[in-house]
Amino acid sequence: MKVEGRCHCGRIAYEAEVEPDTVGICHCTDCQMLTGSAFRANIPAPAGGFVLLRGTPKIYIKTADSGAQRAHAFCPDCGAPVYSAAPENPTSYSLRVGALKQRAALKPVRQTWCDSALPWSMDLTTLPRFSAGVPPATR
């Protein structure tokens, strides 16, 4: 499946070929910190099918507790995360599902690092739902 992605401001744009049934959610504490959220949704894209169309992302090299390193790419203007990959000669890119135009068609098939998950993040079905924003009376 061909996907198109971009950062929030549009400075970075890319396209890639992905297998739609490979989306994962990661609950590790690094993903929580790097997204500022409870988890990160990713889809792998082979390097041969990834094309950066516009812009040059800023790269942050993250070193895990294991010593393994990952290059995290984000927009230098809006700060939106774009992908992560091996720091040198990547064979694949871990694309951020939220940055993809086709995100609604990409349903996660697994969750990892669930021992690190925020307890409330594993079941959001009981929370009130609104079609857009939060009603003024509840802000």
Is 56 a member of any domain?
A: yes
Q: How many domains does the chain have?
A: 1
Residue positions counted in the chain: 139
pLDDT tens readout for residues 81-103: 999 999 999 999 999 999 999 99
Residue 82 within any structural domain of the chain:
yes
Residue 30 CA to residue 64 CA, distance in Å, equals: 8
- Residue 138: its pLDDT value, please? 60
pLDDT of res. 17: 98
Could you list the residue range(s) of the whole structural domain that residue 79 is in? 2-117
- pLDDT of residue 74 exceeding 90: yes
In-domain check, residue 48: yes
Q: Alpha-carbon Rg of the chain, whole angstroms?
A: 16
Residue 98 placed within a domain = yes
CATH, residue 36: 2.170.150.70
Predicted confidence at residue 66, as pLDDT, reads 86
